[in-house]
A and B are shown apart, each in its own frame.
Chain A
Amino acid sequence: MSYCVQCGVQLANDLTRCPLCKTAVVNPNQPVREVKESAHPERVEEAISRIDLGYARQLSVILTLIPILIVLVLDLIDGGRAWSPYVAGALVMAWCFLAVPLVFRVKRPYLYVALDVIALCAYLALIAFMSGDFSWYLSIVLPLLVLIGAITLLMLLVIRRVEALKLYRAAGVLLLCAVFILGLETIIDLAAFKSLRLGWSIYAAIPFVVLALMAYGLEKHKGLKEEIRKRLFV
């Protein structure tokens, strides 16, 4: 057994320094040796900190419901033109956008995108209902949101194909951008002119298609890809 020359405490056999004053163990009669049995195990365990998602879900719902109830009550007291549905709808939509991905953990993110699109459609439908005019909603907004949702989901599908090479995936995303632009003009034309007359979208889509073909071609041509990588690496 050794003693700390500073503190005077006796030290356990496995200590090389005094734990109180950090002085090195000095005992010429008993050099520090391998100790068969140390007082504490060597293993350090990782703390698994799990968030209680059930509690977080309840909390997020309560924190959303409280302002909704407040505005509903204030609106009732106000007695004038109802404004609380706008606020309540916005809060529910915000919950869908912000809280759902955090407190509901699912393996595939498609459900989040689908829910966000549905929430946005529902909120704008509410606005249309409150204003008494559904024409703008049905002719432009709803088709546009469906298009955005579908394109986003497809892009996610393409990006998550990790077994596909990167440039193939980039080509897929660029093609989808082109499809989106064409779809956008289609919706606008049908809403405004009731007929399809693609014009500006073709010019906007062409560069995306060209880039997509270039990305696809580059991935196919390994030699050219290496040459470009050699010259352009950062």
Chain B
Amino acid sequence: MNQPRRIITPDWLKLDNAAKIYPAARTKGWMPMFRVSITFLEEIDRPLMQQALENTLKRLPLFSYRLRRGLFWHYFDRQEAGPQVVDDARNMLLPLNLTGERDFMFRLRVHRRRAALEVFHALTDGYGATSFLTTLAAEYLRLKTGKTIPASGMVLDTKDAPRPEEWQDAFQKQARGLTRSRGEQSAWQMKGTRTERGYLRVVTGVMPTEKLLAVARARGTTVNTLLAAIFLQALMKQKEASKRGRGKPVKLSLPVNLRKYYGVSTLRNFSFYVNVPALPGYGLEDLDALITYITHYMGLETMEAQLNARFSANVKAERNKALRLAPLLLKSLVLKLMYRFTGERYMTSTLTNLGRVDLPEAMASQVERMDLILGPARKTPLAAAVISACGKTCLNFSRTIKESEVERLVFTALIRLGVPVMVESN
């Protein structure tokens, strides 16, 4: 009888194309991170959650790598042990320490009924992190209730062997020769009163998914476009009120999951962004006009060839011989300076939407909701993230300034459209 082939996870991995900028861009007090959480109906049993984490890491070993520095590039080094589950804190998304021997690129925080995964963006994107978290949650429920949770969608079976396509750098594989210039117009930047020590203020709006979907359909659009239009409208009002940056458009960065274009199942970074520009006074004040504008703009920019040309430009830059031979120290300095001066110039804020996460029935009955929170970029003080699960859509705004005007405009707009919103805050 043939023995099943044993998959050996690599001892080390190169960083994917999108991840290469993140170690250079981080500073002592800031790191590109995001957080995805799941709230159960009952209080979490921490020893069981720790066991579930260890089991899940065997299935998804990508998360047990640590970041190391080579002579020319950073790389991921495999570790055998996993991190400990830690208490959650009111101030979320504190930078991870990556210099120690046992430091991982994520942490798992627990508070009462909620388990939250805080991840360094060099490791994975929202899709990869959500897959990890939902698999972890399924494993936890299996350990707790003894019932099998069937794997489906993002939820993977911890008894399966790891698959090599899960740690594949899809950017390298899918890039083609044709590239497109990355040059864009600079965006208007929001200003505000910074919070103490960069404390991240989070405001969560919880809405019934069906109601939101119904409102979007009534306007002939999708939830993503509707929310983007409302957010963009709020940002334009904020720009008008600030009386700064005349002539500079408000630009909303909308990440696009590239997996659906290429049928890949990598859990590493594989998304790209589209910066949608809008200038007040060009007929975009009306919500329906904005919806039409965004629909057509995204329709063009999210054509496979357009996206491929843009990320192929990044891959081409990475393959440049002079760049590859430059010592990492020099590369990091240059990347850091490039990020500081150009990295966030082209967007005012970000809205990321993971869409609806379909949990297996046996699991959905034990889960109240899921949340996704983005750490704002270094200079841009506000970001928004949406995720839907178990009939609830959670729209999380995260900011490092005290003013909450944009959130107020967005949530009151949703209420006027007939979507009831329940608000929480830290």
A interface residue numbers (CB < 8 A to B): 1, 4, 7-12, 14-15, 18-21, 37, 39-45, 47-52, 54-55, 58-59, 62
B interface residue numbers (CB < 8 A to A): 28-29, 69, 87-91, 94-95, 97, 99, 111-112, 197, 203-205, 327, 329-330, 333, 404, 407-408, 411-412, 415, 420-426
Q: Would you call A42 and B412 a contact (CB within 8 A)? A: no
- Tell me which of A8, A19, A37, A41 contacts B404 (CB under 8 A): A19
Q: Would you call B87 and A20 a contact (CB within 8 A)? A: no
Q: Using A10-B420, A11-B423 as known contacts, say yes or no to A21 and B29 having CB atoms under 8 A apart.
A: no
Measured between beta carbons, the chain B residues less than 8 angstroms from A20 are 203, 404, 407-408, 411-412, 423
Measured between beta carbons, the chain B residues less than 8 angstroms from A10 are 420-423
Measured between beta carbons, the chain A residues less than 8 angstroms from B91 are 44-45, 47
Q: How far is the CB of B203 from chain A (nearest CB, A)?
A: 5
Measured between beta carbons, the chain A residues less than 8 angstroms from B95 are 47, 49
Q: Would you call A7 and B415 a contact (CB within 8 A)? A: yes
Measured between beta carbons, the chain B residues less than 8 angstroms from A7 are 408, 411-412, 415
Q: Which residue of A lies closest to B426 (CB)?
A: A40
Top 10 A-B pairs, shortest CB-CB distance: A19-B425, A45-B89, A20-B408, A10-B422, A12-B424, A40-B426, A39-B424, A9-B423, A8-B415, A49-B28
Q: How far is the CB of B177 from chain A (nearest CB, A)?
A: 35
Q: How far is the CB of B349 from chain A (nearest CB, A)?
A: 17
Measured between beta carbons, the chain A residues less than 8 angstroms from B69 are 54-55
What DSSP secondary structure best describes chain B's contact surface? mixed
Q: Would you call A12 and B422 a contact (CB within 8 A)? A: yes
Q: Using A48-B97, A58-B329 as known contacts, say yes or no to A41 and B90 having CB atoms under 8 A apart.
A: yes
Q: Which residue of B lies closest to A51 (CB)?
A: B28
What DSSP secondary structure best describes chain A's contact surface? loop
Q: Would you call A9 and B90 a contact (CB within 8 A)? A: no
Q: Which residue of B lies closest to A22 (CB)?
A: B404
Q: How far is the CB of A23 from chain B (nearest CB, A)?
A: 10
Q: How far is the CB of B329 from chain A (nearest CB, A)?
A: 6
Most buried by B among A39, A58, A59: A39
Q: Would you call B415 and A9 a contact (CB within 8 A)? A: yes
Q: Would you call B422 and A40 a contact (CB within 8 A)? A: no
Q: Using A7-B415, A9-B412, A51-B28 as known contacts, say yes or no to A45 and B424 having CB atoms under 8 A apart.
A: no
Measured between beta carbons, the chain A residues less than 8 angstroms from B426 are 39-40
Measured between beta carbons, the chain A residues less than 8 angstroms from B415 are 7-9
Q: Would you call B205 and A9 a contact (CB within 8 A)? A: yes
Beyond A20-B412, A45-B90, A50-B99, list 18 extra A-B contacts (CB 8 Å): A7-B411, A9-B412, A9-B415, A10-B422, A11-B423, A12-B422, A12-B425, A19-B203, A19-B407, A40-B90, A40-B424, A43-B88, A48-B97, A49-B29, A50-B97, A54-B69, A58-B329, A62-B327
Q: Would you call B422 and A59 a contact (CB within 8 A)? A: no
